[in-house]
C-alpha cells in the first residue's frame, strides 16, 4: 500500500474502532434502538469510504503494475471477487 | 432494548471492535490490499447482522407498544428514516 | 395500497421499465461497458426509491392497522424479512 | 463487449424488463405491499448479477487492454467511479 494511503487508512481505522466502542457503550447504557441503528449505519458508511480509499490505491498501484507484469488473470479475478462480495454474491456462476 | 438482545448486541460489538483492530494491524503490517478489503467487507456484514438483531428487537417491542400507545407517526417516521439511511437516501422527498 | 401511493408507484415502474429497455438497446448497440454500468446503477437507485415509497405507505397503513388489530407477529415478521432481504441475508439465525 | 457477454446481458435485460412489467401489474391489481417489495428486491439482485457479468467482461478485456495501451489513469478512474456509485458516494473527496 502507498505510504500516504496506509497512513490515512490507519487514521480512519482508529476512528472507526472508537466509533464502535461508542456504540457498545450506547447499548450498555440502554440507549434507544433507533439511535443505535443511526450510529451503526454511520459506521458502515465510514467503512465503505475506507474501502473506496484502499481500492483506489490498489487500482493505481498493484492493478496497473500487475497487469503490466503479465499477471492479469489473478488481478482481474480479485477485483471481480471484491465486487461480488460487495453485492453479497456468494459463489455459484454469474446467473 | 430487551435484556437478551442487549447482551447479544454487546457481545457482537466487542467482537466487531476486535475485528476492526485486527484490520488496523493488517494495514500497519502492510498486508495486501485485497486481503484488507476482504476483511472490511466481512466486518460490514457483521454490522448488518447486528442491525438486523437490533431492528427485530425494536419492532417486537418499541414499535408494537408505541403504535398501541397512539405514537404511530413518530414510530413509522423512524422506521422510514432507518430504511432510507440503509439505502443511503439523504433527505429530499420520496422522488 | 393507498391510491396516491399506487398511482405514483405505477408511474415510476413505467419509467423504470423504459429505462431498462434503454439499457438493453445500449448493449445491443455495443456501447461502452462503463456507460452501461452507470445506467444499471441509476436504475437500481430508482428501484430503491420506489421501495422507500411503497414501504412508507405500508408502514402508515397496513402496519399500524395490523398491529392495532392484534396481528403484530405477522406484521413485524414481514418487516424483518424485508430488511434482511435488503441486506441480503438469506435464512439462518441472526448470527 | 465480448459477443458472448453481450448476448447473455441482452437475454438478462429482457428478463428483467418482463419482471418489472410483472411488478407494475401487481401494483395495478393492488397486491399486498410486502409481496411487491419481495419482487423489487429480487429484481435489484438480478440487476446486480448483470452488473457482475458486465464488470467481469470489462475487466478481462477493456481494462487489461487499456492499461497495456498506456491508458491506466482513465481506466482506474472509471473503476473507482463505478465502485463509488455502487456504495452511493456522490462526489466529494475520499473522506
Domain of residue C32, CATH code: 1.20.58.1000
Q: Which of B21, B44, B58 sits opposite A34 (nearest CB)?
A: B58
Nine cell digits for residue B34:
485485497
Q: Running DSSP on this structure, what letter comes out for residue A61?
A: I
Of all residues in chain D, the one with the smallest CA distance to A5 is D94
Cβ of A29 under 8 Å from any chain B Cβ?
Answer: no
Count of C-D CB contacts under 8 Å: 110
CA distance from start to end of chain B: 34
Q: Which residues span the domain enclosing A78?
A: 3-86
Cβ of B1 under 8 Å from any chain C Cβ?
Answer: no
Q: Which of D40, D61, D71, D79 to mutate to test the interface with C (most CBs of C within 10 A)?
A: D40
> C95 or A87, which is more confident?
A87
Cβ of A58 and B20 within 8 Å? no
Chain B residue numbers with beta carbons less than 8 Å from the beta carbon of A23 are 13
Within a 13 Å sphere around the CA of B93, how many CA atoms are in the beta-carbon half? 2
Global ipTM: 0.89
- Is residue D95 situated within a structural domain? no
Query: Distance of CA D52 to CAs A80, A86, C56, D55, Å?
Result: 7, 10, 30, 5
Chain A residue numbers with beta carbons less than 8 Å from the beta carbon of C88 are 87-88
- Is residue A54 situated within a structural domain? yes
Kind and range of the H or E run holding C62: none
- Is residue C94 situated within a structural domain? no
- Rounded to a whole number of angstroms, the distance from the CA of B34 to the nearest CA of chain D is 14
Cβ of C26 under 8 Å from any chain D Cβ?
Answer: no
Cβ of A17 under 8 Å from any chain B Cβ?
Answer: yes
Q: Which of D56, D86, D87 sits opposite A94 (nearest CB)?
A: D56
Contacts of residue A48, defined as CB under 8 A and 6 or more positions apart, other chains included, come to B44, D87, D89
Q: D23: closest CA among C14, C32, A30? A: C14
Chain D residue numbers with beta carbons less than 8 Å from the beta carbon of B87 are 88
- Is residue B17 situated within a structural domain? yes
- Is residue C91 situated within a structural domain? no
- Is residue A93 situated within a structural domain? no
- Is residue A77 situated within a structural domain? yes
Contact C21, C40 (CB under 8 A): no
Cβ of D68 under 8 Å from any chain B Cβ?
Answer: no
Q: Is the pLDDT of residue D83 over 90?
A: no
Q: How far apart are CA D85 and CA A21, in angstroms?
A: 29
How many domains would you assign to chain C? Answer: 1
Cβ of D72 and A89 within 8 Å? no
| ∠ Cα A29 A35 A39 (to 5°) | 100
Cβ of B15 under 8 Å from any chain C Cβ?
Answer: no
| Span C16-73, pLDDT tens digits | 999 999 999 999 999 999 999 999 999 999 999 999 999 999 999 999 999 999 999 9
From the centroid of its chain, how far is CA B19?
16
- Is residue A91 situated within a structural domain? no
Q: How far apart are CA A27 and CA B13, in angstroms?
A: 9
| Span D10-46, pLDDT tens digits | 999 999 999 999 999 999 999 999 999 999 999 999 9
Q: How far apart are CA A54 and CA C85, in angstroms?
A: 28
Nine cell digits for residue A52:
473506496
Burial A58-70 (b: 16+ CB within 10 A, else e): bbbebbbebbeee
Average pLDDT over residues C65-85: 91
Cβ of B85 and A13 within 8 Å? no
Looking at residue C86, its pLDDT comes to 83
| Span B17-46, pLDDT tens digits | 999 999 999 999 999 999 999 999 999 999
Amino acid at each position: 500500500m502507498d505510504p500516504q494511503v496506509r497512513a490515512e487508512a490507519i487514521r480512519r481505522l482508529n476512528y472507526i474502532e472508537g466509533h464502535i466502542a461508542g456504540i457498545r457503550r450506547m447499548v450498555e447504557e440502554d440507549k434507544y434502538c433507533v439511535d443505535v441503528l443511526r450510529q451503526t449505519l454511520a459506521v458502515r458508511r465510514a467503512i465503505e469510504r475506507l474501502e473506496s480509499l484502499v481500492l483506489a490505491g490498489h487500482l493505481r498501484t498493484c492493478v496497473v503494475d500487475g497487469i503490466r507484469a503479465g499477471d492479469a488473470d489473478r488481478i482481474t479475478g480479485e477485483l471481480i471477487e471484491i465486487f461480488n462480495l460487495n453485492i453479497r454474491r456468494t459463489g455459484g456462476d454469474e446467473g
